[in-house]
Amino acid sequence: MIALFMIIGTIVLFYAMTFIYKRFTYPLLIPIFSTTVLLVIILVLSRIPYDTYMSGGKWINELLGPAVVSMAYPLYMHREKIFKYKTPIILSVLTALFSGLISITIFSKLLSFDDHILLSLLPKSITSPVAIPISEAIGGIPTLTAVFVIFAGLVGAIFGPVIFKVFHIDQAISRGLSVGSASHGIGVSKLAEYGEETLTMGSVSMTLSAIFGSFVCPLFALLI
Amino acid sequence: MLKIIRIVLQVFILYLFSLIGSWIVQILSFQFPGSIIGLLLLFGCLYFKIIPGQLIKDGAGFLLTFLALFFIPATVGIMDYPEFLSWVGLGMVLSIIISTTLTIIITGKFCQYLERKLLEKEQIE
């Protein structure tokens, strides 16, 4: 009973936040962020522990797996364009992966974060359904990773357009690839405003960075 | 109504792919996201026309539209980590902002360079 209530509550709140975001499109109102903040506030105020919430939440969580599998479909639909630009795509996604991994490792060492935190930070640019199992596999804290991933996504959605302007990143492919491989789904959802080609490249790079990241992150973690 | 049944059935097919992916990972006993194996399997099946795109189109569209919703239970888990609201937490957020911004700049510039080279090559040919 409680479980069903949690499921319905999450969906209703998410739906309401999506409606509000469409109305105002203010970047911080992005539904994944606002719904999470509201849910945490409601749960903490009504003294409901996370485990109780998850008795329902786990059923929503269960759909992440098939959602990742679904990304095969857009990849298949755009296979010709992807094969045409395969070299820049693969090289850019790898560049993004390593720039992210190396820079976050440097900052973690400078600020002397705990090793568990650094390991949880590593998969931050990879879409959550893949970042979470990677974090588990390399000894990070999956919940922290889930939140770091959201922050990395918000950076792309909020600062992406500014970065494009300041650094003259003005081609559809480079816009899509850079934000897609740095800020995954949340960044990609923002790319929709730049048209079909940018969006396609965004989802391609997000998928590829999830695939490459699954191999690269665990190897990189061994070096630390 | 028919459309809802179709979506539910197609989501179930996609769920099977993700299950098969997890089984493969378990059998081979190595640490890897099973869903990515499922993704690669489905792409292979579509590419070699083992299954038609129509069989999963609506289910995939549905799941990708509500992608953000499925993340929420995991992110709400932050409530068990109140230490996140601290100076260390702030340091983490700043590191993520700078690291992600750098990633976008480096990748965007590098990609633009590659694209220009590809175009030049095409023009010569």
Digit-coded pLDDT (tens) for B56-81 = 999 999 998 888 898 889 889 888 88
Q: How far apart are CA B39 and CA B58, in angstroms?
A: 16
Provide the pLDDT for residue B31: 67
Mean model confidence pLDDT for chain A: 91
Up-side HSE of residue A151: CA atoms within 13 Å toward CB?
26
CA distance A193 to chain B (A): 16
Report chain A residues whose CB lies below 8 A from the CB of B105.
163, 167, 169, 178
Answer yes or no: is pLDDT of B5 > 80.
yes
Provide the pLDDT for residue A12: 97
Q: Where are the domains of chain B?
A: 1-77, 81-125
CA distance B69 to chain A (A): 7
Least confident of A147-151, A164-168, A215-219: A147-151
CA distance A102 to chain B (A): 9
> Are the beta carbons of B40 and A64 separated by less than 8 Å?
no
CA distances from B125 to A80, A82, A162, B63 (A): 20, 20, 36, 43
CA distances from A150 to A1, A159, A199, B71, B91 (A): 30, 14, 19, 9, 16
Q: In which band, very low, low, confident or very high, does the pLDDT at A224 lie, cut at 50, 70 and 90? A: confident
Same domain? For A35 and A75 the reply is: no
Nearest-10 crossing angle of helices A196-223, A172-191 = 90
Provide the pLDDT for residue A32: 82
Same domain? For A31 and A99 the reply is: no
> What are the φ/ψ torsions at residue B108 (nearest 5 degrees)?
-60, -45
Provide the pLDDT for residue A140: 94
Same domain? For A143 and A195 the reply is: yes
Tokens 């879409």 -> residue: A127
CA distance B123 to chain A (A): 15
Last residue of a domain, one of A62, A84, A106: A62
Q: H or E segment at A194?
A: none
Domain count, chain A: 2
Q: Which tokens is B54 given?
A: 């129509």
Q: Which tokens is B12 given?
A: 């179930």
Same domain? For A126 and A47 the reply is: no
Q: Mutation test of the interface with chain B: which of A69, A73, A148, A203, choosing the one with the most B Cβ atoms within 10 A?
A: A69
Nearest CB to A50; choose among B63, B77, B100: B77
Q: Which residues does A140 contact at the CB level (< 8 Å), separation at least 6?
A: A116, A117, A119, A120, A121, A122, A123, A134
Q: In which band, very low, low, confident or very high, does the pLDDT at B7 lie, cut at 50, 70 and 90? A: very high
Provide the pLDDT for residue B82: 80
Q: Mutation test of the interface with chain B: which of A70, A101, A111, A147, choosing the one with the most B Cβ atoms within 10 A?
A: A70
Answer yes or no: is pLDDT of A194 > 90.
no
Same domain? For A87 and A145 the reply is: yes
The length of chain B is 125
Q: Are A82 and A204 in contact (CB under 8 A)?
A: yes
Same domain? For A90 and A189 the reply is: yes
CB pairs under 8 A between A and B: 297
pLDDT digits over A22-69, tens only? 898 787 788 888 999 999 999 999 999 999 999 999 999 999 889 889
Q: In which band, very low, low, confident or very high, does the pLDDT at A174 lie, cut at 50, 70 and 90? A: very high
Same domain? For A100 and A205 the reply is: yes
ipTM: 0.86
pLDDT digits over B80-115, tens only? 888 777 888 889 999 999 999 999 999 999 999 998
> CA B20: distance to chain centroid?
17
> Are the beta carbons of A53 and B76 separated by less than 8 Å?
yes
* Strand intervals (E) in chain A: none
Range of the domain at A42: 2-62
Provide the pLDDT for residue A25: 77
Nearest residue on chain B to A109, judged by CA atoms?
B95
Same domain? For A116 and A145 the reply is: yes
> Are the beta carbons of A32 and B80 separated by less than 8 Å?
no
Nearest Cα neighbor of A53 from A67, A31, A68, A38 is A38
Q: In which band, very low, low, confident or very high, does the pLDDT at B1 lie, cut at 50, 70 and 90? A: confident
Answer yes or no: is pLDDT of B46 > 70.
yes
pLDDT digits over A87-124, tens only? 999 999 999 999 999 999 999 999 999 999 999 999 99
Comparing A193 with A126, which gets the higher pLDDT?
A126
Q: How far apart are CA A67 and CA A47, in angstroms?
A: 31
Same domain? For A144 and A217 the reply is: yes
Q: Mutation test of the interface with chain A: which of B35, B37, B93, B117, choosing the one with the most A Cβ atoms within 10 A?
A: B35
